[in-house]
């Protein structure tokens, strides 16, 4: 049986949460003598400590057909909220199909490379903290942008902060080769991923679909071999 892995960049958040809960448990036990109040309060804080640790888990998942470099898999767990033709103006500067996945508080928040290919672009954008499903959050919120390229095309994606997501971690390094299904970063708490694929790509999801990072195929790139 494999042990659940915890995201390397989240130990500080977990430790801080544990320390705060430990202090609250001590104060509750020390100063609230009414057991039917103090015991449930302490139990709730223990449950929260377990939850915050579980929240930053890194799931062990199998990538579908890892040798097929045309497959574009989901960067994140969540719900598809946008599938639309748009003009990507930051880097690709052309019409694309945008696929957006919204992560709620209970979804896995580690992110994973959508294709196997070379990282060709990375940029971090400071910004606001609108609700992640807000139409303008893609442009106005804090976010990081990455682009990957292989022999079948380019895939551009954004990790977008939400109202409660105050830290984005991204492992993108231009010029480095990365592999579909391996971890590419983490967004802490509710947030969103915007992914852009070529117009010729065969999109496999629709608005309302629930997707899983690594396992769910969002699109198939055109065959340029």
54: confidence class by pLDDT, cuts 50, 70, 90: confident
The torsion angles phi and psi of 13, rounded to 5 degrees, stand at: -60, -45
31: confidence class by pLDDT, cuts 50, 70, 90: confident
- Among the listed residues 53, 55, 137, 45, the one whose alpha carbon sits nearest the alpha carbon of residue 98: 137
- Among the listed residues 92, 79, 68, the one whose alpha carbon sits nearest the alpha carbon of residue 190: 79
Q: Could you read off the pLDDT of 59-82 as tens digits, one per residue?
A: 788 888 888 999 999 999 999 999
- Among the listed residues 54, 62, 139, the one whose alpha carbon sits nearest the alpha carbon of residue 100: 139
Q: Could you read off the pLDDT of 74-106 as tens digits, one per residue?
A: 999 999 999 999 999 999 999 999 999 998 877
Q: What is the model's pTM?
A: 0.83
Catalytic residue ranges: 191
pLDDT value, residue 69: 93
């Amino acid at each position: 049986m494999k042990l659940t892995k915890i995201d390397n960049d989240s130990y500080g958040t977990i430790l801080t949460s544990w320390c705060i809960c430990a202090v609250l448990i001590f104060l509750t036990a020390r100063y609230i003598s009414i057991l039917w109040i103090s015991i449930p309060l302490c139990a709730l804080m223990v449950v929260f400590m377990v939850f915050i640790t579980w929240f930053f888990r890194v799931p062990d998942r199998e990538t579908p057909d890892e040798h097929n470099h045309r497959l574009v898999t989901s960067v994140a767990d969540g719900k598809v909220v946008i599938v639309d033709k748009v003009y990507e103006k930051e880097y690709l500067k052309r019409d694309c199909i945008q696929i957006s996945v919204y992560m709620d508080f209970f979804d896995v928040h580690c992110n994973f490379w959508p294709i196997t290919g070379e990282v060709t672009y990375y940029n971090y954008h400071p910004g606001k903290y609108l609700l992640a499903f807000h139409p303008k959050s893609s442009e106005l919120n804090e976010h990081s942008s990455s682009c990957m390229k292989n022999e079948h095309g380019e895939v551009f994606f954004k990790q977008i902060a939400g109202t409660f997501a105050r830290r984005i971690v991204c492992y993108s390094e231009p010029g480095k080769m990365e592999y579909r299904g391996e971890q590419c970063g983490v967004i802490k708490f509710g947030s969103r991923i915007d992914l852009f694929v070529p117009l010729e790509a065969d999109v496999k999801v629709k608005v309302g679909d629930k997707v899983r990072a690594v396992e769910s195929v969002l699109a198939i790139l055109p065959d340029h071999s």
